[in-house]
Structure 1
């Protein structure tokens, strides 16, 4: 049987350097000597103590499994930032998140609906299987067999002509780096920022540019560590018929898009 590789030492060096800490800095923070940290980072310590594992895992906010079994240098910048932001679950095959889902008797995934009154609970229980299982469930026709889907209610008029109160059916995005610029998505943000339905562009620094379809709303940027989940737009349902876009609104949107592209070009 092939022996599993241990990436603990190389991961310690990578994580320390990402925080711009010297060996003495991090040794002081962990209550270790510099020589002991150097031995851990250089791989000279073949069997670190349980206390060392627990202390280092707690300091970086990364699971012991990930520290040992995952070559963090092979992850993309966005996934590394997610990991460092505390969104760690043990990963295999490059996927950083394990999404909580519910299934029917035939082991087919439900399409859960997140009503407005459940939004606060979702922020705390988005990765809790029991919470997800408690959400209303639907079976929608014509959904692709591959992928996980969920329904989110829209609020506000920032995405007109999609009407306020429309229900957005969206597909879970595992790898954010695969999102094409300007893709409509439901973005689940930390804290009090709630859910947003925006056009998403992943920037080179791993932050997300969020734009509205409604030109009256200014685009803004959020750091990757503020994002819990991203769901790519698939369809929406509404009792309202969208109003046609007026000429002035079309012109305003075109100007706004051009301004954004110019800003992005200058930053690049």
Structure 2
């Protein structure tokens, strides 16, 4: 029989420390004694009273279900703010995918980079905070302030026309049901030894269609249960200079532009 792990005590302590409040001030805010708050945070109170659960939920603006069932310390600051604003995963019946992240000294999310030598271990450690903390991390200017970003190396011809060896920057997708058809993504699969860079389409009956930009590679489908993470393409960096457009490519482009003008007229 599986037992649901309860995170209430660690969540209360985490949320208090996130607000940079002492136990004395937090206890005063909750309307309880410091000794009782200490017992709640340390797990000495195995079965918190309903009024304590309701009080903490109202104070931290996070549902009781989330306080009990979700390890809030492993959720990004953006997601925590969403929970506090009423976008609660349990109230909405959603299925959150907890993402391990790292932050800088200002509590802003880093962008982790998965070097080639770490790719083999990523599938085993993708949700392990210690593994993620061991990855190279940095920040880039001009990235959107919202969202979590990660950089993946590209290997293989299936990612063309993105040049092999380019570094692909992607944004984490938590809710896969909101993915538009043929969205370009890095997909981390359970059964693959590498990441795949594909156009993703969520299909009925729990299947995902994966299509390569390189038409020499046939599309294929995988069950949703075989997917660990999906990261939406944002941009890429490469040391390769794009090849100059040939005369034939230029003529084809001009014909296509003319056809589009005719269709619009």
Superposition TM-score, scaled by structure 1 size: 0.58
Aligned equivalents of 2:178 and 2:128: distance in 1? 26
Give the C-alpha shift of residue 64 in structure 1: 6.1
Aligned equivalents of 1:241 and 1:198: distance in 2? 23
**Counterpart in the other structure of 1:199:** 199
Structure 1's unaligned 5+ residue stretches are: 1-54, 71-90, 251-268
Rg (Cα) greater in structure: 2
**Counterpart in the other structure of 2:113:** 113
**Counterpart in the other structure of 2:70:** none
Aligned equivalents of 2:219 and 2:5: distance in 1? 39
Give the C-alpha shift of residue 160 in structure 1: 1.5
Give the C-alpha shift of residue 193 in structure 1: 3.9
Counterpart secondary structure, 2:117: helix
Per-residue CA deviations over 1:119-138 (Å, capped at 9, x if unaligned) read: 12111111111110110011
Contact residue 162 and residue 242 of structure 1 kept, 8 A: no
Aligned equivalents of 2:222 and 2:98: distance in 1? 23
Per-residue CA deviations over 1:57-81 (Å, capped at 9, x if unaligned) read: 37xxxx466xxx59xxxxxxxxxxx
**Counterpart in the other structure of 1:149:** 149
Counterpart secondary structure, 2:158: coil
Give the C-alpha shift of residue 159 in structure 1: 2.3
Structure 2's unaligned 5+ residue stretches are: 7-64, 67-88, 253-265
Contact residue 120 and residue 193 of structure 2 kept, 8 A: no
Give the C-alpha shift of residue 194 in structure 1: 2.2
Counterpart secondary structure, 2:159: coil
Counterpart secondary structure, 1:158: helix
**Counterpart in the other structure of 2:180:** 180
Per-residue CA deviations over 1:43-97 (Å, capped at 9, x if unaligned) read: xxxxxxxxxxxx1x37xxxx466xxx59xxxxxxxxxxxxxxxxxxxx6452421
Superposition TM-score, scaled by structure 2 size: 0.59
Aligned: 1:128 with 2:121: no
Aligned equivalents of 2:221 and 2:207: distance in 1? 7
**Counterpart in the other structure of 1:240:** 240
Aligned equivalents of 2:222 and 2:96: distance in 1? 19
Give the C-alpha shift of residue 192 in structure 1: 3.6
Q: How many residues align?
A: 168
**Counterpart in the other structure of 1:167:** 167
Q: CA RMSD in A?
A: 2.5
Aligned equivalents of 1:194 and 1:139: distance in 2? 24
Per-residue CA deviations over 1:150-198 (Å, capped at 9, x if unaligned) read: 0000111112211011100000000001111111000001134421011
